[in-house]
Amino acid sequence: MIHFHGVGKAYPTGIVALQGVTVRIDPGEFVFLVGPTGSGKSTFLKLIQRIERPTAGRVVVDGVDVGALPAAQIPFLRRRLGAVFQDFKLLPDRTVADNVAFALRVTGVDPLEIGPRVLWALETVGLADRADDLPVRLSGGEQQRVGIARAIATRPRVVLADEPTGNLDPEAAWEIMHLLSAINLRGTTMVVTTHNPMLVDILRRRVIELHAGRVVRDESRGLYQTAR
Amino acid sequence: MSPGVSTRPRADRATETRVLLPRRWTSGTRVVLADALGGLRRNALMVAAATTTITIALAVAGAGFLVSANLGHVAAILEGQVEIVGFLRGNLPAVQQQRVLAAVQGLPAVRSAEIVTRDEALRRLQRTFQAMASVNELLPSNPLPDSIEVRVTDARRVREVAEVLQRIEGVDEVVYGAPIVARLMALTRAVRIAGMVLAGLLAAAALLIIVNTIRLTIAARRQEIEIMTLVGATPGFVRGPFVVEGALQGAAAAVLAGGALCAGYLVLAGHASSALPFLPLVAPGAVLPQALALVWALGIAVGVGGSAIGLRRHLLS
């Protein structure tokens, strides 16, 4: 599903975010990306979304060399990737349903399909009864669930979640991680960056650890930290 | 309830699905227009502030144009007063005088020409020096010659017409105040250039203000643009509603600025005609249509262009 072949990324400022990263993520996998701040986790996700281009190696997503993708094709790549953000990125002046529908409308989904898909996504995250509320009336955990509903409404094959529990209390964090796991069980590939050891240790999924831009660990049922 | 989506209790699934179909999610141009109107409604306060700024900027640019047009008008009036006087040979018969007149009137650079008889010239002299003793009493006879007074279509051609006039049979001496005309020409050129520079500067300032205003409104909605690009909206889809919004804002501001300019100019023209009769403004009917066209074109062009420029940075990132 996602292949990194000797990928390096150096920013024009001289900062080297990734170097020599070779990773293969298969369809339906759930992967935790861990490592200290600045280790290259966010850059890893940005390369998949083609927000950034690799300066060395190749990133292949679903058979497509993302780095070589013409600019006009980038939107179509992103439609196959759901994105969840630490700060939720909800539009505060639109209802929960409108926030989810927004992603469908701007990607040209048939208008007749939008209503049912919004309903399906909100039911999946357990927020169908809050459809008419504005985000400000929701708790942090609920807002993130709206973010997840928006990410899955386009029915992506991969969901990329960048610190999805970073702004949440432990209980809400656990709910979100549980929800992401449930979505993964339906076949969606999940790549999640996190600083939360408890969640990683409980779920025991594949863990890829980055340090100073290099993969220092890749375990199929790993813990947040290596058992030393 | 939100205008877009609503849900009913879970039990009523069929109804729920139907109700979820939003009225405004239609296809094509209507989507772009609906999005644009939605954007204007959601950001009403910012849109009002931006439209006010754009209105003022457009009104200033339009005022610059009106000032420039009037300076050009004043220059034209001054130039129109440039006159060539050709003194005719003494006792030139009336038939001969009419030939001279016809020859002069046939010149393309001549706007008007008339014969001034020596008697008429004397009467004018008397009118000019009414306060002084009667000229008749001082002079034994009328010393003034018959003359032809010529006005040209373009003050820059005064020398050329004077030279031709000098060569016509029956014309004795030609006077047109060459140094004064040269100075006047320099003055009117300076006035015209000053007018154009002023209008240009004001238009440029208006452009900068408008583009910057639109950029600010777009920057305030960068999260919306960011989400659009991250979920896979094409640049055209992102740009569409913003450009339509920009055009609508520009058009609204142009209507307001145009109204203000018309009202202001009509009032000013009314006052000026009584207070400064010697310096008439360009008739409103002759200058306001151009000013309105300029404001309208500038408003829409800058609305559309400003949105596209403002979005560029966000779309590139």
What residue ranges of chain A have pLDDT lower than 70?
Answer: 226-228
- Give the torsion through C-alpha atoms of B257, B259, B262, B267, to 10 deg: -110
CA distances from B136 to A23, B87, B128, B132, B139 (A): 116, 21, 14, 11, 5
Contacts with A45 (C-beta within 8 Å, 6 or more apart), sequence order: A33, A160, A162, A191, A193
Measured between CA atoms, the residue of chain A closest to residue B22 is A115
Residue B20's pLDDT is 39
Query: Taking CB atoms and an 8 Å cut-off, how many pairs form between chains A and B?
Result: 107
Is B26 an interface residue toward A (CB < 8 Å)?
yes
With contact defined as beta carbons under 8 Å apart, do A197 and A224 qualify?
yes
Say how far apart CA A211 and CA A39 lie, in whole Å: 5
Q: Report the gap between the CA of A9 and the closest CA in chain B (Å).
A: 17
Q: Is the pLDDT of residue B12 over 60?
A: no
Secondary structure class of A5 (helix, strand, coil) = strand
Helical residues (DSSP H) of A50-185, grouped into ranges? 74-78, 96-105, 111-124, 140-153, 170-185
Instruction: Please report the pLDDT score of residue B182 as a whole number.
Output: 77
- Cα A159 to Cα A7, A41, A78, A164: the distances in Å are 21, 15, 10, 11
Which runs of E-coded beta strand occur in chain B? 83-88, 110-116, 147-152, 171-175
Region for residue A194 given its phi and psi (left: phi exceeds 0; alpha: psi -120 to 50; beta: otherwise)? beta
Quick one: pLDDT band at residue B29, thresholds 50, 70, 90? low
Q: Sorting pLDDT into bands at 50, 70 and 90, what band is B144? A: confident
For residue B75, pLDDT over 80 is answered with no
Write out pLDDT tens, residues B92-109.
Answer: 888 888 888 998 888 888
Q: Who among A72, A81, A97 is closest to B4 (CB)? A: A97
Q: Residue A150: list chain B partners with CB under 8 A.
A: 231
- Name the range with the highest mean pLDDT among B4-8, B16-20, B173-177: B173-177
The answer to whether B232 faces chain A, any CB pair under 8 Å, is: yes
pLDDT score for A150? 94
Separation of alpha carbons B213 and B49, rounded Å: 9
Give me the residue from A77, A97, A107 closest to B7, CB to CB: A97
Which residue, chain included where needed, has tokens 């002084």?
B132
| Of the listed ranges A29-38, A115-124, B27-36, B203-212, the one predicted with least confidence | B27-36
pLDDT score, position B22: 44
Which pLDDT score is estimated for B316?
A: 57
Residue-level pLDDT at B271: 83
Structure tokens belonging to residue B8: 């009913």
pLDDT higher at A132 or B314: A132
Question: Residue written as tokens 């993969």?
Answer: A215
pLDDT score of B16 more than 60:
no
Task: Give the pLDDT confidence score for residue B132 in this predicted structure.
Answer: 62
pLDDT digits (tens, 9 = 90+) for A84-119: 998 999 988 889 999 999 889 888 888 888 999 999
Of B9, B18, B233, the CB nearest to A107: B233
Residue B5 has its nearest CB partner, among A79, A97, A106, at A97
Say how many C-beta atoms besides its own lie within 10 A of residue A71's C-beta: 9
Q: Which residues of A touch B23 (CB under 8 A)?
A: none
Mutate to test the interface with A, among B223, B227, B238, B242 (most CBs of A within 10 A): B227
Q: Which residue has the higher pLDDT, A146 or B279?
A: A146
User: B155 pLDDT exceeds 50?
Assistant: yes
Residues A119, B234: C-beta atoms closer than 8 Å:
no
- Kindly tell me the number of DSSP H helices and DSSP E strands found in chain B: 11, 4
Average pLDDT of the residues in B244-269: 89
pLDDT band at B24 (very low <50, low <70, confident <90, very high): very low
* B3, two tokens: 């205008």
Q: What are the pLDDT digits (tens) for B107-125?
A: 888 888 999 888 888 888 8
pLDDT of residue B53: 84
Give residue B135's pLDDT.
60
Place of tokens 């008749």: B136
Tens of pLDDT, residues B164-190: 888 888 888 888 876 777 787 788 788
Q: Quickly state the pLDDT bin for B79 (edges 50, 70, 90).
A: confident
Q: Is the dihedral of CA A61, A64, A65, A68 positive or negative?
A: negative
pTM passes above 0.80:
no
Chain A contact for B186 (CB, 8 A cutoff): no
- Name the residue type at position B207: L
Q: Which residue has the higher pLDDT, B219 or B257?
A: B257
What is the DSSP secondary-structure string of B156-220? GGHHHHHHHHHHSTTEEEEE--HHHHHHHHHHHHHHHHHHHHHHHHHHHHHHHHHHHHHHHHHHT
Contact assessment for residue A194 and residue A144, using Cβ atoms and an 8 Å cutoff: no
Could you report the predicted ipTM of this complex, rounded to two decimals? 0.85
By percentage, how much of chain B surpasses pLDDT 90?
A: 7
Residue B50 near residue B249, CB atoms below 8 Å: yes
Predicted pLDDT of residue B14: 36
Q: Which CA distances in Å does B238 have to A70, A150, A225?
A: 18, 18, 42
Tokens of A171: 């209980």
